[in-house]
Amino acid sequence: MSGHGRYQAGRRPARRPRHPGARWSGGASSGPVPGTQRSAHPLRPALGEVALAVASLALAELAFGLLAGAWPGSDTTRDGIAWLYLGVLRTAAAATVYRLLAGALDAGHAGTAPGPVAPPARAVAIGLASGAAAIAGSFAIGVLLETVGAAPEEQQAILRLVARLRAEGSWATHAAFVTAACLLAPWVEEWFFRGLLFRRVAASASVPAAYAVSALGFAAIHGNPSGLVIYAWLGLCFAWAVARTGRTGPAVLAHAVNNAAVVTLLYLGLAPGAQP
């Protein structure tokens, strides 16, 4: 073979960047975007992002706690439709605050550039695959936890809400619940945890740190200790969809697929802790 058919001595073929914060340009990674350079101490930027995310959530929680208290006569109890929508708005507000604070701290370079962006068809396929993995893994983890006497249950507030809907809900309240659970919640939660937190930690610290931080944060925010391992698994699946496609949309799709499966089980009375 001629020399043109082999790698030149001492050189390796260009590889695609492994982290979502890098740009792909002609076979070489240009590194994280300005304002998100990797630190010599990889945990430091990850902890900084966690602090920023927690501060954003706390500010949103405070604001919407005051809003709920000033909304007399509304169904904002923890088993009401209004409570569910306030949760969606609270997460959206937290994501907005996080985005603005990150933009200010990054001196105009808020957010990170994704890695290689997958074509739409591939992105959809990966989103569906991630959703299927999320469902299958959740089932397997649930069975395993049950065998050791730690069976997970769905969030009690959701169980009470669905029980009310099944007993006395109108078509409008059913539609409002399904819309919030299967469309709006996946969108705002993925915007916060994968669109912002995962990408920024991956760019400034490391991809493993980004997986861990976004998955654990996602699990913690649901406030359901019995389902902590399952929520963490879901967070890993959704982050994988972003890492593989350079898009947040596939994670939203995977999240929506998973939630649709859970809602179906809830209405059938088959979800853990649900009344048949």
Question: What does the pLDDT read at residue 150?
Answer: 87
Contacts of residue 84, defined as CB under 8 A and 6 or more positions apart, other chains included, come to: 161, 177, 180, 181
Using one digit for the tens of pLDDT, what is the confidence trace for 175-191?
Answer: 999 999 999 999 999 99
Model pTM greater than 0.85?
no
Quick one: pLDDT band at residue 267, thresholds 50, 70, 90?
very high
Average pLDDT, the chain: 82
Percent of the chain with pLDDT over 90: 55
Give a three-class secondary structure readout of 138-179.
Answer: HHHHHHHHHHCCCCCCCCHHHHHHHHHHHHHCCHHHHHHHHH
Average pLDDT over residues 163-181: 92
Question: What does the pLDDT read at residue 16?
Answer: 45
Whether the predicted pLDDT of 35 surpasses 90: no
